[in-house]
C-alpha cells in the first residue's frame, strides 16, 4: 500500500477511511479535492498531511491560466489559504505551505514558478520519506530484545508518506530480529489503531495484540509493556507535544509504572515559533464521529459531545524524542 503518489501532474492517494475493508485509490486533479481529502481524513497523519498539502498547492498553481505574476499571485494566495485552513494542529501542513509560499515569493516567471512548486512538493515528499527511515533506525536502538512496545493511533507508512515514525521504530526493531512484540490501542473515536496500525503491523509480520484504549493501564500494571512509542502532530519549543487524543493519558500511566515514553517525529513537526503546548491549537471535530459508528447511531440523540482530536503531553513526561537527526533526551 502506498499512501500518496504524484503521477503525471495528478495526486494519487489511498482512501484511508475505507481501510482495512477496502483498498481504494483516489485520483485528485484539483486542489479543492485535496483540501477535502485532508479535512475528511482520506489522507491523514502529520507528515502525510504536509506532503499532500504541498502537492495540493502545486495542483492548484498548475491550473492557473495566466503568464502574468500580477494575476497569478492573488489566485495562488487563495489556493494556499484554502489548503492551510484544512486542519489546524499538524505543524507539517503549515511547514509545507510556508515552503511553497516561499517558492512563489522568490519567483518572477509564472511558468518557472509552477515547475519549481512541483519540484518543491516532490522534495518535501522525499525528505519526509528519508526522515522516517532515519527515525526508525535511531528509534530501534532504544528498543531492547524481547520488549513489548505499546503504540497509540497510527504513525506508520500510511501516516508518514514513508517508512513510519513510531510504528517505523517498532517495525525496524522487529526486522533486526530482536524478538519484540507490540500492543496497539484501537484509538477511539475513528479507530485508526484498529483499522490502520493493526493492518500495518500484520503486514510487517510483527507479533501484536489489539486492545481498547482503556486497557493500557491494566497491561502496564501487569508488567507486560516495556515502552511506549507514539508519533506527534506538533511539538512546541519546550517539548510539549500534541498528538492523538489519549496520548497524554498514556504518558501519565507510563510515568506511574516506570515505563519510558518516547515520541518519534521528524524535524518538520517541531514548531519553534510557539513556546509551549498552551499555544497549540487543538482541532475540535464533528460530534458524529463519537455518536455514530460506521453510519450507525450508537448514542442518544440531542446530547452534548466534546470531540478534541488531540491532546498535549507535557515535555517532562517524555523520556526522549526520536528524530531523523538522532535522539534528544529529556533536558537536552
CB distance 151 to 204 below 8 Å = no
243 annotated as a binding-site residue: yes
Beta-carbon count within 10 A of 78 CB: 12
**What cell was used for 211?**
486492545
**329 labelled as ligand-binding?**
no
Determine if residue 46 is labeled as part of a ligand binding site. Answer: yes
Establish whether 233 is a catalytic residue. Answer: yes
Residue 44 annotated as lining a ligand binding site: yes
192 is in an annotated binding site: yes
Report the DSSP pairing between strands 148-151 and 320-323: unpaired
Q: Is 65 exposed, middle or buried (0-12, 13-18, 19+ CB in 10 A)?
A: exposed
Q: Identify the burial level of 193 via C-beta atoms within 10 angstroms of its C-beta, where 0-12 means exposed, 13-18 middle and 19 or more buried.
A: buried
67 marked as part of a ligand binding site: no
- Burial bucket for residue 56 (CB in 10 Å: 0-12, 13-18, 19+): buried
Q: With beta carbons less than 8 A apart as the criterion, state whether 79 and 57 touch.
A: yes
The helix (H) or strand (E) run that includes residue 310 is strand 310-313
Q: How far, in Å, CA of 218 to CA of 198, rounded? A: 20
Answer whether 40's CB lies under 8 Å from 49's CB: no
175 carries a ligand binding annotation: no
- Looking at residue 277, the DSSP 8-state letter turns out to be G
The catalytically annotated residue of 213, 233, 240, 311 is 233
Strand pairing partners for 284? 308
The H-assigned helical ranges of the chain are 31-39, 46-62, 69-84, 91-106, 110-140, 157-160, 166-175, 192, 198-204, 216-221, 247-256, 288-291
Pairing of strands 326-329, 296-297: unpaired
Q: Which residues pair with 230 in a beta bridge?
A: 263
Annotated binding site for substrate: 44-46, 87, 192, 243-244
Catalytic residue set: 233
Annotated binding site: 44-46, 87, 192, 243-244
Amino acid at each position: 500500500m502506498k499512501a500518496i503518489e504524484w503521477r503525471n501532474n495528478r495526486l494519487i492517494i489511498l482512501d484511508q477511511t475505507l481501510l482495512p475493508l477496502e483498498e481504494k485509490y483516489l485520483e485528485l486533479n484539483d486542489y479543492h479535492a485535496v483540501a477535502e481529502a485532508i479535512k475528511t481524513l482520506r489522507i491523514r497523519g502529520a507528515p502525510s498531511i504536509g506532503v499532500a498539502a504541498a502537492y495540493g498547492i502545486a495542483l492548484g498553481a498548475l491550473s492557473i491560466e495566466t503568464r502574468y505574476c500580477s494575476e497569478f499571485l492573488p489566485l495562488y494566495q487563495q489556493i494556499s489559504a484554502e489548503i492551510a485552513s484544512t486542519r489546524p494542529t499538524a505543524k507539517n501542513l503549515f511547514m509545507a505551505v510556508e515552503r511553497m509560499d516561499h517558492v512563489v515569493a522568490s519567483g518572477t516567471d509564472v511558468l518557472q514558478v509552477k515547475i519549481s512548486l512541483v519540484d518543491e512538493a516532490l522534495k518535501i515528499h522525499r525528505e519526509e520519506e528519508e526522515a522516517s527511515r532515519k527515525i526508525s533506525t535511531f528509534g530501534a536502538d532504544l528498543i531492547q530484545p524481547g520488549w513489548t512496545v505499546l503504540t497509540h493511533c497510527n504513525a506508520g507508512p500510511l501516516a508518514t508518506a514513508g517508512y513510519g515514525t513510531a510504528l517505523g521504530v517498532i517495525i525496524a526493531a522487529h526486522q533486526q530480529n530482536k524478538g519484540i512484540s507490540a500492543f496497539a490501542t484501537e484509538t477511539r473515536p475513528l479507530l485508526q489503531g484498529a483499522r490502520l496500525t493493526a493492518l500495518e503491523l500484520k503486514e510487517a509480520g510483527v507479533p501484536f495484540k489489539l486492545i481498547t484504549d482503556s486497557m493500557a493501564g491494566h497491561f502496564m500494571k501487569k508488567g507486560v509493556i516495556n515502552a511506549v512509542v507514539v508519533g506527534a502532530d506538533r511539538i512546541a519549543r519546550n517539548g510539549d507535544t500534541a498528538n492523538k487524543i489519549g496520548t497524554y493519558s498514556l504518558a501519565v500511566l507510563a510515568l506511574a509504572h516506570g515505563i519510558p515514553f518516547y515520541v518519534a517525529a521528524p524535524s518538520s513537526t517541531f514548531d519553534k515559533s510557539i513556546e509551549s503546548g498552551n499555544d497549540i491549537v487543538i482541532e475540535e471535530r464533528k460530534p458524529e464521529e463519537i455518536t455514530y459508528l460506521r453510519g450507525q447511531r450508537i448514542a442518544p440523540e440531542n446530547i452534548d459531545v466534546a470531540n478534541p482530536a488531540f491532546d498535549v503531553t507535557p515535555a517532562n513526561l517524555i523520556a526522549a524524542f526520536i528524530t531523523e537527526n538522532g535522539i534528544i533526551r529529556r533536558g537536552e
